[in-house]
Amino acid sequence: MQEIEKNPKNSIAKIVDEIFSSPIDLFDFFFQNSFSSFQILGIYLSLSILAPISKLGNNFLQFKLFPENSPPSITEGIFTSFLVYLIGLFFVIFLDEFGKNFLQRLGKKNQNPIALISFLPFAASSVFWLLPKPFLIIGLFLATLLGLFNYYEGFRNTYELNRKQFFSFILLFGIFLGALSFIFLLSVNLYRNL
Both 123 and 176 in one domain: the answer is: no
pLDDT tens-place string over residues 158-185 = 788 888 888 888 899 999 999 999 999 9
Both 142 and 186 in one domain: the answer is: no
pLDDT tens-place string over residues 12-63 = 667 777 777 776 677 777 777 777 788 888 888 888 898 999 999 888 888 8
Both 127 and 71 in one domain: the answer is: yes
Both 29 and 86 in one domain: the answer is: yes
Percent share of the chain, pLDDT over 90 = 19
- How much is the mean pLDDT over the chain? 83
Both 34 and 74 in one domain: the answer is: yes
- Structural domain tally of the chain? 2
Angle at 45 (CA atoms; ends 124, 121), nearest 5 degrees? 20
Interatomic CA distance for residues 18 and 154, integer angstroms: 15
Both 170 and 153 in one domain: the answer is: no
Closest residue by Cα to residue 73 from 87, 62, 89, 88: 62
Both 35 and 117 in one domain: the answer is: yes
Straight-line distance from the first to the last Cα atom of the chain, in angstroms, rounded to the nearest whole number: 58
Closest residue by Cα to residue 51 from 134, 2, 132, 123: 123
Closest residue by Cα to residue 77 from 92, 60, 64: 60
The amino acid at residue 56 is L
Cα 121 to its chain centre, rounded Å, is 7
Both 49 and 118 in one domain: the answer is: yes
Average pLDDT over residues 148-155: 85
Name 55's Cβ contacts closer than 8 Å, sequence gap at least 6: 77, 78, 81, 129, 130
Interatomic CA distance for residues 72 and 183, integer angstroms: 37
Name 140's Cβ contacts closer than 8 Å, sequence gap at least 6: 84, 122, 125, 128
Interatomic CA distance for residues 12 and 32, integer angstroms: 15
Quick check: 33 and 4 in contact, CB under 8 A?
A: yes
Both 82 and 15 in one domain: the answer is: yes
Domain that holds residue 175: 163-194
Both 135 and 80 in one domain: the answer is: yes
Residue 74 DSSP code: T
Both 136 and 179 in one domain: the answer is: no
Both 130 and 171 in one domain: the answer is: no
